Amino acid sequence: MTSKKRLAARAHAKVNLDLRVLGFAAGLGITGLAWIRQSSADQSYDNGLYAAAAVLVSSAILLAFMPTYRYTAGAETLHAPQTPAPQHI
């Protein structure tokens, strides 16, 4: 296999894995919402929606504390050392 075909196959496999994880998480979220509704005393979706809101807020907080991404998008050469992108604040 040529280098470009191998890289394309690796990229396709990574995208495929990402989509499978996303689909699993979506199914897990819907199942969790229904399970919380069934197990709550008043049989409403309020508790599940509060749990989803808590997950979203905690994800936003964690995202705010992540370090900046160092590499530039669309690097032309694969074997050259990648330099950090300039940070404009």
What HEC string does the chain produce? CCHHHHHHHHHHHHHHHHHHHHHHHHHHHHHHHHHHHHHCCCCCCHHHHHHHHHHHHHHHHHHHCCCCCCCCCCCCCCCCCCCCCCCCC
pTM, full prediction: 0.53
Question: How would you write the pLDDT of the chain (89 residues) with one tens digit per residue?
Answer: 567 778 788 888 888 888 899 899 899 988 988 898 898 888 888 888 898 899 999 999 999 998 887 767 665 555 555 676 677 77
The predicted pLDDT at position 82 comes to: 63
The predicted pLDDT at position 10 comes to: 81
The predicted pLDDT at position 77 comes to: 55
